[in-house]
Amino acid sequence: MKQVQLYDTTLRDGAQSEGISFSVVDKLHIANKLDELGIHYIEGGWPGSNPKDAEFFERIHELKLKNAQIAVFGSTRRRGLKAEEDNNLTMLVKTGAKVATLVGKSSDLQVINVLKVTLEENLSMIADSVRYLKSKGMDVFLDAEHFFDGFKHNPDYSLKTLEVAAECGADCLVLCDTNGGALPEEIAKAVKAVAKATNVPLGIHCHNDGGLAVANTLAAVAAGATQVQGTINGLGERCGNADLCTIIPALKLKVGINCISDEQLASLTEVAHYISELANVAPDPFAPYVGASAFSHKAGYHMDGMNKWPEAYQHIDPAKVGNSQRTVVSDQSGKRNIITKAKELGIDLSDTDKEVKDLLDHVKQLESRGFQYDNAEASFELLLHRAKPDYKPPFELVDFMVVVESRRRPSTRKAADEMLSEAVVKVKVDSEIIHTAAEGDGPVNALDMALRKALLQFYPSLSQVKLVDYKVRILEESTGTESQVRVLIESSDGVNEWHTVGGSTNIIEASWLALADGLEWWLLKQEK
């Protein structure tokens, strides 16, 4: 069976999507998730382009990756410099990464009009850079930028750039449809031509400007490419990159290439939604394989067929990619999911249909207010516990008030000319009501400080819990400041991380609910 290596560039190309900015912590979380998925290479970024990517390579060693190798990205040496004198190249070596992906021009028009060097100088830049990185013991993948456009205009020169890289020791020649305008038959023709010209393994890197990135990628694999580059959810500049969430199941389930295990494939939907949440982008419900509507059925004619034969209107079993069949506008929709998830969490729901239906109705009501539990398992687990009549929470929220003002009175924490945020909360523990106040660096931080101040006297161990990340999403932009908002909070005790969610038309209330869930879930775990 043909072997194909998966190369993910979500952390670099994906981060170039408009409106997306991953923190270093986000990038580390994503890298860990990609490793669990079975990705072979994770491109961490371009350390020469920004401090955040440089910090990522300093911290990536904290992770104990089991499947993936980390690749560092950079460009060929600049004109007029020796490779060992180019700071961008030396920085690639200093990261300690074992794999370097090097972008080099493979289109004569790009060399002349953009790079502004001679065609021969460009060949020297490629050769010197590959040779230098190989001398440092690194595996080198050449990203042949604009290859397919260059191959159409001047195929001899485009092939020459690859031949030079191969002669200098490149380990993989990655053919890039950088502008995303190629057609599948053009991709296949060019890949076959390169395969005849060199024995070095070939890769494919497609952009989606023509809506064909996945099709072009599969055409390249059929023509001989053995490394596939792409991003989770197709994130990327302009129209995005080839979507690995579509490519991976297509390779495994349609083409028969066992690029990841069955168990890893079953986590694909969860990984896709997880990374969407970290990117603060709503998951595309109509995405192939992993979208919430990918296996949904509404038409009565379709549902009649599905009841008779599950394969009537589905091209695969959704469970293979971690998704599920969904009946739209049905009282029965989602009940099985809730029961299954409860069992996974060790919570036994009543066998009575009414209890499960009441819980499902409650979930739907909360979702209409902005709650969503795809990446907030801690909040969902609390929802299941709260549905049990014998559940006693470690504390109850009674009331809160937040004041944000400027220059009216001095703060004990800040200079008098800065914004003051102060929160007052009432919390009930057993029969005692605690009334506390605290200031913070903004209203959410003030709420967090006041809530902890109230609870620490009863639960000193809560001092271990820290708020790691905070994201807000506006759900109904058309209603302006009255829009529903969702707040997703990540908490950590230094060992484990968990996510909670709050929803409301009031961003402070949504934050309050998510904060409280984060603390309640942790206290609940300490009792077990």
Rounded (5°) CA angle 65-66-70: 45
Predicted pLDDT of residue 329: 33
- CA 207/CA 318 separation, integer angstroms: 27
Other Cβ atoms within 10 Å of 4 Cβ, number: 22
Query: In which residue ranges of the chain is pLDDT below 50?
Result: 300, 303, 328-333, 416
Task: Report the CATH fold assignment for 5-260.
Answer: TIM Barrel (3.20.20)
Predicted pLDDT of residue 231: 98
Q: Which residue, among 96, 93, 114, has the nearest Cα to 105 in the 3D structure?
A: 114
CATH class of this structure's domain 296-386 = mainly alpha
- CA 355/CA 156 separation, integer angstroms: 70
Indicate the pTM of the whole model.
0.68
Predicted pLDDT of residue 376: 80
Reported for 149-153, long-range contacts at CB under 8 A and 24+ positions apart, including other chains, are: 149/107, 149/109, 149/110, 149/177, 149/178, 149/179, 149/181, 149/182, 150/105, 150/106, 150/107, 150/108, 150/109, 150/110, 151/106, 151/190, 151/193, 152/186, 153/107, 153/108, 153/109
CATH class of this structure's domain 396-527 = alpha beta
Q: How many residues does the chain have?
A: 528
State residue 165 phi and psi, 5-degree precision.
-60, -40
User: Which residues in 152-182 are b (16+ Cβ under 10 Å) and which e?
Assistant: eebeebbbbbbbbbbebbbbbbbbbbbebeb
Task: State the chain's mean pLDDT as an integer.
Answer: 89
Residue type, 93: V
Predicted pLDDT of residue 328: 44
Predicted pLDDT of residue 298: 54
Provide the residue ranges of all domains of the chain, joining segments of one domain with +: 5-260, 296-386, 396-527
- What are the CA-CA distances from residue 71 to residues 31, 43, 90, 134 (Å)? 11, 5, 15, 14
